[in-house]
Amino acid sequence: MPAKVDMDKIVSLCKRRGFIFPSSEIYGGLASCWDYGPMGVELKRNVKEAWWKTMVQDRDDVVGLDTSIMMHPGVWAASGHIDNFTDPLVECKSCHLRWRADAVEGKKCPQCSGELTEPRMFNLMFKTFMGPVEGEGSIVYLRPETAQGIFVNFENVVTTSRKKLPLGIAQIGKSFRNEITPGNFIFRTREFEHMEVEYFVKPGTDEKWLDYWVKERFDWYVKLGIKKENLRLRQHGKDELAHYARDCYDIEYLFPMGWSELEGIANRGDFDLTQHAKCSGKELSYRDAEGGEKYVPYVIEPSAGVDRSILAFLVDAYEEEDVEGEKRTVLHLHHSLAPIKVAVLPLSRNEKLTPLAKEVFRQLCPKFMTDYDDSQSIGRRYRRQDEIGTPFCVTIDFESLEDKQVTIRERDSLAQIRVPIEGLEHVVEAKLKGEAFDASTLWATRQK
């Protein structure tokens, strides 16, 4: 399987099969904004659910939170975002295009060779106004990360959750950054979703917990099917650490444009709680129940992007293969991520087959995301399901009317088994959980 696939192929499949469309397309689109279609929205929900299950549900030391996108402007002054969340920009004096200073070589505009200005700092936060009066006093920002909503609720969560440290607070939600160079499809956009945990620990144990989370997060991608050789870790050099970070690792993925950050895991020390305590005047510390010791916790932050993870999962799952002289495009998505788990396909649109096929659909759809498709040839319908990564197709043929059995076709191996309609949902469930296909016996049984 190739390590890399052209981004064009991913973009085209996403458009063709209803994963991702350009935003406002009928108006010509809006730069670097994307909409998730019927398949994309399922994939996105599955990625978020997989993350929430691992990070919150399966643990007793992490709780969830959902905070507002707009927050008191004082939050962003305290967090350092108003002063530090900036990129140096140069502007072309002729065509007025702006560039990230580190992205251009020399003093000439890459577009028109015009003269460039000296670098100016540009804040990446989106500003808007709250209430009917537009003015300095009504400025609010769209959050550039979900983390600050967690820090300002630290006290609320600790007192209401009755948990001891180490304690993590998890949040999934939209973030906004007025990126200067968005691009590479959904890799870098101005509106995206974060999945973040702030994990509060006793100072002195922070390095141990940073190592722990780096490993946990790396393993999460592998467990969900990403090939290990397409992932690597990179520690930040001292000169590239963000203003709040004591240490930081990036999990990088081999995207079509090369190795790039997929997720960052930072040791934020006590920077945020200390800043918010200072600026709000409210004490933000923790008292150890046993020793009675009081301290400001350190924070380890695994911070991932929903959209960027989706891109990695799509790229990694994509394969074009030759099957009996024909090209087959298939997404080998992990079963838990696949938008549709099972497709019900009558051999043809036939008045005898349709009632039974609909019955099978109704039997399966309360349990799994199920697709029903009876248009075009069965071959084309299989190809469509392969392209959207559907693990199993259930085919109803004329024999099914007699023997009350159906065929299940598996996406990756193309093996087929014949099973009774009664209890079909239990068979599909077991296969989705990874039970092996006993193709030889069952298919052979059918041939008799």
Closest approach of Cβ 2 to ligand ATP, in Å? Answer: 23
- Return the residue of 143, 177, 217, 268 that touches ligand ATP, per CB under 6 A: 177
Site string for ligand ATP, 104-123 (x = CB under 6 A): --------------------
Residues 136-155 close enough to bind ligand ATP by CB under 6 A:
145
Q: Quick one: 247 or 261, whose CB is closer to ligand ATP? A: 261
Using CB under 6 A as the binding rule, whether residue 264 contacts ligand ATP is answered as: yes
Using CB under 6 A as the binding rule, whether residue 189 contacts ligand ATP is answered as: yes
Using CB under 6 A as the binding rule, whether residue 247 contacts ligand ATP is answered as: no
* Binding window for ligand ATP (CB under 6 A); candidates: 127-135, 185-193, 316-324, 415-423: 185-193
Q: Report yes or no: 344 and 371 within 8 Å, Cβ to Cβ.
A: yes
Q: Quick one: 264 or 346, whose CB is closer to ligand ATP? A: 264
Using CB under 6 A as the binding rule, whether residue 303 contacts ligand ATP is answered as: yes
Using CB under 6 A as the binding rule, whether residue 263 contacts ligand ATP is answered as: yes
Binding-site size, ligand ATP (CB under 6 A): 16
Using CB under 6 A as the binding rule, whether residue 275 contacts ligand ATP is answered as: no
Q: CA-CA distance, 222 to 191, in Å (whole number)? A: 27
Residues 362-401 close enough to bind ligand ATP by CB under 6 A:
none
Q: Report yes or no: 170 and 197 within 8 Å, Cβ to Cβ.
A: yes
* Binding window for ligand ATP (CB under 6 A); candidates: 91-99, 213-221, 257-265, 439-447: 257-265
Closest approach of Cβ 214 to ligand ATP, in Å? Answer: 13
* Binding window for ligand ATP (CB under 6 A); candidates: 186-194, 338-346, 398-406, 418-426: 186-194
Q: Quick one: 173 or 339, whose CB is closer to ligand ATP? A: 173
Q: Quick one: 263 or 387, whose CB is closer to ligand ATP? A: 263
Using CB under 6 A as the binding rule, whether residue 305 contacts ligand ATP is answered as: yes
Using CB under 6 A as the binding rule, whether residue 335 contacts ligand ATP is answered as: no
Closest approach of Cβ 141 to ligand ATP, in Å? Answer: 15
Three-state helix/strand/coil letters over the chain: CCCCCCHHHHHHHHHHCCCEEECCHHHCCCCCCEEECHHHHHHHHHHHHHHHHHHHHCCCCEEECCCCCECCHHHHHHHCHHHHCEEEEEEECCCCCEEEHHHCCCCECCCCCCEECCCEEEECCCEEECCCCCCHHHEEEECCCCHHHHHCCHHHHHHHHCCCCCEEEEEEEEEECCCCCCECCCCECCEEEEEEEEEEECCCCHHHHHHHHHHHHHHHHHHCCCCHHHEEEEECCHHHCCCCCCEEEEEEEEECCEEEEEEEEEEEECHHHHHHHHHHCCCCCEECCCCCCEECCEEEEEEEEHHHHHHHHHHHHEEEEEECCEEEEEECCCCCCCCCCEEEEECCCCCCHHHHHHHHHHHHCCCCCEEECCCCCHHHHHHHHHHHCCCEEEEECHHHHHHCEEEEEECCCCCEEEEECCCHHHHHHHHHCCCCCCHHHHHHHHHC
Using CB under 6 A as the binding rule, whether residue 261 contacts ligand ATP is answered as: yes
Q: Quick one: 17 or 177, whose CB is closer to ligand ATP? A: 177
Taken in order 99, 105, 108, 109, the sign of the CA dihedral is negative
Closest approach of Cβ 329 to ligand ATP, in Å? Answer: 26
- Return the residue of 296, 304, 331, 342 that touches ligand ATP, per CB under 6 A: 304
Q: CA-CA distance, 215 to 311, in Å (whole number)? A: 21
CA 415 to chain centre: 30
* Side chain identity, residue 147: A
Q: Quick one: 52 or 443, whose CB is closer to ligand ATP? A: 52
Q: Quick one: 189 or 390, whose CB is closer to ligand ATP? A: 189
- Return the residue of 194, 335, 341, 431 that touches ligand ATP, per CB under 6 A: 194
* Binding window for ligand ATP (CB under 6 A); candidates: 184-192, 207-215, 413-421, 436-444: 184-192
* Binding window for ligand ATP (CB under 6 A); candidates: 84-92, 213-221, 229-237, 303-311: 303-311
Reference 165, options 298, 322, 362; nearest CA is 298
Using CB under 6 A as the binding rule, whether residue 319 contacts ligand ATP is answered as: no
> Which two three-digit tokens encode residue 55?
């990070």
Using CB under 6 A as the binding rule, whether residue 334 contacts ligand ATP is answered as: no
Closest approach of Cβ 335 to ligand ATP, in Å? Answer: 24
Q: CA-CA distance, 384 to 387, in Å (whole number)? A: 5
Q: CA-CA distance, 11 to 19, in Å (whole number)? A: 9
Residue closest to ligand ATP (Cβ) = 305
Residues 33-72 close enough to bind ligand ATP by CB under 6 A:
none
Task: List interacting residues with ligand ATP (CB under 6 A).
Answer: 145, 177, 179, 188-189, 192, 194, 261-264, 303-305, 307-308
